[in-house]
């Protein structure tokens, strides 16, 4: 039976009728399969939750031990179980720690919800695996040919060069607290940067969680009223929302940077007052999206949140059956 006959889009999100569960529901539901820990995919208050161990740990860190009402069910990558008679398995998505694609199989047909994903190397998570299926569901956050993310090493080199050039300025980098923060730290370490990296309080818990999963981040220290004045020439990571707020005013001669796929758009960087835009994304760029359609090889593609029309058009031009799956409520907050 074709997935269109047992999958439907409801106000709460994508619903599997055959198994009576949702994928990344936006409102509390009885049964939820969660692809990863970003707030627009992982919400508190579901009855039963299925996700990877790392995603469940992230949900506990964000929402407390009782983020679920009945049970939480950790799934290893590649493990298959049945929910309401539908076979469900999770596979690496390469997006953030614990991120997964969800594969559903029912009545002789299969569908893969890839969630958010990328194809670049990232030491903080398991790389994306193409999973054969009849219908592949993909996001489209950066699905325009203008979005081509440069190599991460190049962007990190630009940050380190700026620190050399402006040793009197505190380099304040806006990064999303879950995923981007830890990936940037790892990339700085890989580039040989051994100094203590200072953190806004909002990053602390998730950095500790990554370390508890074996991802070493090196010397980290919270910004405090005592050490803030001494951070000239240092790197401070904060949530994008803290770049311009009162919190940053105690830092000496701040140089504002931000790491996001949207930094490709200069007007956006200027509008946000970002002096040093770093184009770094945990989402696939245009080349990664189109390559993934080929690598997965599913004859049919459904495109979710983002620039769906461009990717649907591309897929149709290249011999796939393709349509937009209009999902509201997923934000770009992970960027
Ligand atoms: Zn995400
Ligand atoms: Zn998302």
CA of 139, nearest ligand number: 2
End-to-end CA separation in angstroms for the chain: 37
Note whether 102 and 129 are within 8 A (CB): no
Mean pLDDT of 9-17: 94
User: Within 10 Å of residue 161's Cβ, how many Cβ atoms?
Assistant: 11
Report CA(334)–ligand 2 centroid distance (Å): 6
Rounded Cα–Cα distance for residues 42 and 286 (Å): 25
Report CA(283)–ligand 1 centroid distance (Å): 8
Rounded Cα–Cα distance for residues 280 and 39 (Å): 19
Report CA(159)–ligand 1 centroid distance (Å): 24
Mean pLDDT of 105-122: 97
CA of 331, nearest ligand number: 2
Note whether 276 and 266 are within 8 A (CB): no
**Structure confidence at residue 137 as a pLDDT band (50, 70, 90):** very high
Report CA(334)–ligand 1 centroid distance (Å): 5
Report CA(153)–ligand 2 centroid distance (Å): 24
Instruction: Show the beta-strand stretches assigned E in 18-169.
Output: 21-23, 31-33, 46-51, 68-74, 80-83, 86-92, 100-106, 109-113, 135-140
Residue 328: per-residue pLDDT: 60
Mean pLDDT score across all residues of the chain: 95
Report CA(75)–ligand 1 centroid distance (Å): 19
Report CA(167)–ligand 1 centroid distance (Å): 34
Residue 331: per-residue pLDDT: 59
CA of 95, nearest ligand number: 1
Report CA(254)–ligand 1 centroid distance (Å): 29
Report CA(55)–ligand 1 centroid distance (Å): 11
Residue 305: per-residue pLDDT: 79
Q: Which two tokens stand for residue 308?
A: 């769906």
Report CA(40)–ligand 2 centroid distance (Å): 6
Residue 325: per-residue pLDDT: 87
**Structure confidence at residue 70 as a pLDDT band (50, 70, 90):** very high
Report CA(277)–ligand 2 centroid distance (Å): 21
- pLDDT tens per residue across span 27-60: 999 999 999 999 999 999 999 999 999 999 999 9
Rounded Cα–Cα distance for residues 206 and 26 (Å): 22
- pLDDT tens per residue across span 150-204: 999 999 999 999 999 999 999 999 999 999 999 999 999 999 999 999 999 999 9
Residue 272: per-residue pLDDT: 87
- pLDDT tens per residue across span 159-169: 999 999 999 99
Q: Kindly tell me if the per-residue pLDDT of 335 is higher than 70.
A: no
Report CA(66)–ligand 1 centroid distance (Å): 22
Residue 308: per-residue pLDDT: 87
CA of 55, nearest ligand number: 1
Report CA(297)–ligand 2 centroid distance (Å): 23
Residue 330: per-residue pLDDT: 63
- pLDDT tens per residue across span 265-313: 988 898 889 999 999 999 999 999 999 999 999 999 999 978 889 999 9
Q: What percent of the chain has pLDDT over 70?
A: 97
CA of 329, nearest ligand number: 2
Going by C-alpha positions, the residue among 135, 139, 61 that lies closest to residue 94 is 139
Q: Kindly tell me if the per-residue pLDDT of 333 is higher than 60.
A: no
The set of residues, in sequence order, having a beta carbon less than 8 Å from that of 94 and lying 6+ positions away, is 117, 118, 119, 120, 122, 125, 126, 127, 128
Mean pLDDT of 1-18: 94
Report CA(116)–ligand 2 centroid distance (Å): 5
Report CA(201)–ligand 2 centroid distance (Å): 23
Report CA(313)–ligand 2 centroid distance (Å): 22
């Amino acid at each position: 039976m074709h997935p269109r006959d047992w999958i439907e889009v409801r106000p709460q999100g994508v619903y599997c009728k055959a198994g009576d569960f949702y994928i990344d529901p936006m409102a509390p539901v009885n049964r939820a399969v969660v692809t990863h820990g970003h707030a627009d995919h992982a919400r508190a208050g579901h009855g039963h939750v299925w996700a990877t161990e790392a995603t469940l740990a992230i949900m506990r860190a964000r929402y407390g031990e009782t983020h679920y009402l009945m049970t939480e069910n950790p799934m290893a990558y590649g493990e298959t179980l049945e929910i309401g008679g539908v076979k469900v398995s999770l596979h690496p998505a390469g997006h953030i720690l614990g991120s997964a694609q969800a594969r559903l199989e029912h009545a002789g047909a299969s569908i893969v919800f890839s969630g958010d994903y990328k194809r670049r190397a990232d030491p903080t998570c398991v790389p994306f695996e193409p999973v054969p299926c009849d219908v592949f569901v993909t996001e489209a956050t950066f699905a325009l040919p203008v979005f081509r993310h440069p190599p991460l090493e190049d962007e990190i080199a630009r940050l380190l060069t700026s620190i050399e050039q402006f040793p009197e300025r505190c380099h304040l980098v806006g990064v999303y607290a879950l995923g981007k923060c830890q990936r940037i730290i790892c990339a700085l370490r890989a580039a040989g940067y051994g100094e203590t990296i200072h953190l806004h309080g909002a990053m602390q818990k998730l950095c500790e969680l990554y370390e508890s999963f074996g991802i070493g981040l090196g010397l980290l220290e919270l910004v405090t009223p005592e050490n803030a004045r001494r951070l000239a020439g240092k790197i401070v990571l904060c949530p994008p929302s803290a770049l311009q707020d009162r919190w940053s005013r105690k830092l000496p001669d701040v140089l504002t940077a931000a790491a996001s796929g949207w930094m490709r758009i200069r007007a956006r960087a200027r509008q946000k007052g970002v002096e040093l835009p770093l184009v770094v994304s945990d989402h696939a760029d245009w080349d990664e999206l189109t390559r993934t359609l080929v690598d997965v090889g599913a004859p049919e593609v459904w495109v979710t949140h983002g620039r769906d029309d461009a990717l649907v058009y591309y897929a149709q031009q290249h011999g796939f059956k393709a349509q937009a799956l209009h999902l509201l409520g997923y934000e770009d907050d992970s960027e």
